């Protein structure tokens, strides 16, 4: 009825005809309306009510923006807008992907590349561990000693720069009963493979490893180096999870792309690469495809961020995936959602990047940048949100699950050294006597020596709750 009046009014206006406005339209009431005592006939017809109340997006009235088939928030999310640490558990049939680092250039909102994959079976995986990304992992509430099972796409430092920190502080923070596990490609020579890098890292960290050996620590690293040329080879297979790899074209032998499959869900990550047919072959039919991309506005970018245009041009054309190409590859792969990462997330570039990707790819798309983009993936739907983390979070307690499961309690290993073993006496002689600075009655009981030369067994009931996994999947 209202529609007819409105149409008639417009027609009348167009024709220049006068139209009597109903008196009730012309009056603005100063009173709060009172609907009590009204009968159903006083309200809009049920058909109209349903159209208004339950006929909207994403229930089928129309599609808008990212709301393609199968792109909708899952019912258990505490918010469809934001993810917050510690508020949601990964569901038994769910895969959750978080972008912990998203750019080759470091800046506060974009750490170096790292993608965190959590599965409903409790397994977690890290694809690349770029500089600074560890800050986002810790802010997300992940214990330091759970930063493990790291897959490296290649050995550019923006893809593994956090490793020394993870190695040392994970050892200090409870990674006592399992090695740090690192998987990555070989190279053309022995020196180009991931094993050689790890040996070099150990040497670089000689002082640090000795110094931290006054603590309970474990320094084992398990390296799984696969043949970089073995396209489609298995990098990992355990617990229903399979990770395959293939060569990426990144100006030097020894760069890889990865795909993970579990429980009918999958994601692939191209690593750093020129667009290539292997990505199309091995990502085919994947749920979430993550491609690196470099926007091709090299002249504009040079004015903004200072990289000379010829350096930008040459870097892209020998190492990286232009956004037109990312869209081209997405279209061949037909993922349920396509994402780009390893990109500057800048308002002056983003629209251009999307326009280039849209040249070929018309399906669901979301930036895998800036940091803390969170993707929930199930067979029914996929949803992407911004994760919100505090600026000044504190680290979570080390996780003692591995020790409890193996030994029925937490075993604290014996430090290799006391201070006397690695520090000259004259330096400690110069320390100020604590009695001089602690006020009377405030002096703590000092622990200047590790109290035993035997490992310490703490039975499960005495292990602090904060050191046990709160995840049902992990404790079951
Ligand atoms: Zn890179
Ligand atoms: Zn690279």
- The predicted-structure confidence for 122-177, as pLDDT tens digits, reads as follows 999 999 999 999 999 999 999 999 999 999 999 999 999 999 999 999 999 999 99
Rounded to the nearest angstrom, the distance between the alpha carbon of 319 and the centre of ligand 1 is 9
Question: Residue 202 Cα, ligand 1 centroid: separation in angstroms?
Answer: 23
Each domain of the chain, given as residue ranges in start order, spans: 82-387, 401-475
**Distance, CA 454 to ligand 2 centroid (Å)?**
45
Distance of CA 170 to the CA centre of its chain: 19
- Locate all alpha helices (DSSP H) within 79-238, ordered by sequence: 133-139, 163-172, 194-204, 206-212
pLDDT for position 4: 46
- The class (CATH top level) of 82-387 is alpha beta
What local confidence, expressed as pLDDT, does residue 370 receive? Answer: 98
Ligand approaching nearest to the C-alpha of 155: 2
Give the mean pLDDT of 321-341.
98
**156: CA distance to ligand 1 center in Å?**
6
What span, in angstroms and rounded, lies between the C-alpha atoms of 343 and 346?
Answer: 9
**Cβ(288)–Cβ(216) below 8 Å:** no
- Residues with beta carbon < 5 A to ion ligand 1? 104, 156, 158, 272
CA 427 – ligand 2 centroid, Å:
44
What is the chain's Cα-based Rg? 29
Q: Are strands 337-341 and 409-412 parallel, antiparallel or unpaired?
A: unpaired
Residue 57, pLDDT above cutoff 60? no
Which of these, 400, 420, 416, 384, lies nearest to 462 by C-alpha position?
400
CA of 473 to the centre of ligand 1 (A): 34
Q: Is the pLDDT of residue 19 over 70?
A: no
CA of 204 to the centre of ligand 1 (A): 22
Instruction: Inform me whether the pLDDT recorded for 68 exceeds 80.
Output: no
pTM for this entry = 0.89
């Amino acid at each position: 009825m209202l529609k007819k009046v409105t149409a008639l009014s417009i027609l009348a206006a167009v024709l220049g005809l006068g139209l009597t406005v109903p008196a009730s339209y012309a009056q603005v009431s100063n009173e709060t309306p009172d609907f009590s005592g009204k009968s159903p006939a006083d309200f809009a017809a049920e058909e109209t009510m349903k159209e208004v109340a339950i006929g909207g997006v994403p229930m089928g009235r129309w599609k808008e923006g990212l709301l393609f088939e199968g792109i909708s928030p899952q019912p258990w999310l505490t918010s469809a807008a934001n993810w917050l640490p510690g508020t949601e558990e990964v569901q038994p049939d769910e895969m959750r992907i978080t972008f912990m680092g998203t750019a080759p250039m470091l800046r506060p909102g974009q750490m170096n590349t790292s993608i965190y994959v959590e599965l409903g079976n409790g397994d977690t995986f890290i694809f690349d561990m770029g500089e600074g990304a560890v800050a986002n992992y810790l802010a997300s509430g992940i214990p330091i000693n759970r930063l493990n099972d790291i897959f490296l796409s290649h050995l550019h430092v923006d893809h593994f720069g956090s490793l020394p920190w993870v190695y040392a502080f994970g050892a200090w923070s409870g990674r006592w009963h399992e090695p740090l596990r690192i998987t990555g490609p070989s190279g053309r020579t022995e020196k180009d493979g991931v094993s050689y890098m790890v040996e070099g890292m150990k040497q670089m960290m000689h002082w640090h490893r000795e110094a931290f050996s006054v603590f309970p620590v474990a320094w084992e690293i398990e390296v799984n180096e696969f043949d970089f040329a073995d396209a489609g080879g298995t990098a990992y297979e355990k617990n229903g999870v399979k990770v395959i790899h293939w060569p990426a074209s990144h100006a030097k032998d020894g760069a890889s792309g990865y795909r993970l499959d579990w429980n009918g869900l999958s994601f692939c990550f191209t690593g750093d690469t020129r667009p290539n047919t292997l990505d199309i072959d091995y990502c085919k039919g994947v749920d979430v495809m993550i491609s690196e991309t470099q926007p091709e506005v090299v002249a504009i970018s040079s004015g903004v961020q200072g990289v000379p245009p010829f350096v930008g041009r040459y870097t892209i054309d020998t190492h990286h995936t232009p956004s037109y190409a990312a869209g081209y590859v997405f279209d061949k792969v037909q993922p349920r959602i396509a994402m780009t990462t390893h990109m500057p997330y800048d308002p002056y570039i983003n629209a251009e990047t999307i326009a280039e990707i849209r040249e070929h790819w018309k399906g669901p798309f979301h930036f895998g940048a800036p940091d803390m983009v969170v993707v929930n993936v199930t067979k029914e739907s996929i949803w992407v949100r911004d994760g919100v983390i505090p600026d000044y979070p504190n680290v979570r307690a080390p996780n003692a699950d591995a020790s409890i499961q193996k030994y029925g309690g937490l075993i604290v290993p014996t430090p290799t050294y006391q201070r006397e073993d690695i520090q000259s006496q004259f330096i400690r002689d110069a320390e100020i006597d604590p009695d001089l600075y602690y006020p009377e009655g405030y002096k703590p009981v000092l622990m200047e020596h590790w109290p035993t030369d035997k490992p310490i067994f703490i039975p499960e009931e005495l292990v602090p709750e904060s050191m046990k996994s709160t995840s049902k999947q992990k404790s079951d």
